[in-house]
Structure 1
């Protein structure tokens, strides 16, 4: 199945983010997850994997001011 046809439930989203299913549900309720791509089934939102490809979580626990270390950073 192509990436655009596959849809993730809370379980796949949680596994991708490394959090519990309950935490994924809480994040959606707080509005800190991307909008679902499919809401045709009540109480069962689903997302395309591509929705999370470039998405970065914001809020508690995510430091957007940090950068990855490069080879020049480690030489000092």
Structure 2
């Protein structure tokens, strides 16, 4: 891999995903991140930014607890 190509470590991946570095490491160990583009240094995987632009995280479905009902639905009826 050419040295002039930008590669992301855990810090950049975590910032991109909006999670902590520890969470990024945990996701990697569970196989919930894409395969690293460079794993030549033990315990320091690196990814190309384009890898995350194409990657779609595996979802666990719709979280209804994150969506509130509209105020009209909660208004008392006469």
Taking structure 1 as the reference length, what is the TM-score of the superposition?
0.71
Structure 1 residue runs without a partner (length 5+)? 64-76
In the alignment, the residues of structure 2 paired with residue 40 and residue 31 of structure 1 have an alpha-carbon distance, to the nearest angstrom, of: 18
Q: Which residue of 2 aligns with 1:53?
A: 53
Structure ID, larger Rg: 2
Shift >2 Å, 4+ stretches: none
TM-score when normalising by structure 2: 0.69
Paired residue total? 59
User: Which residue number corresponds to residue 20 of structure 2?
Assistant: 20
RMSD: 1.7
Structure number with the higher helix fraction is 2
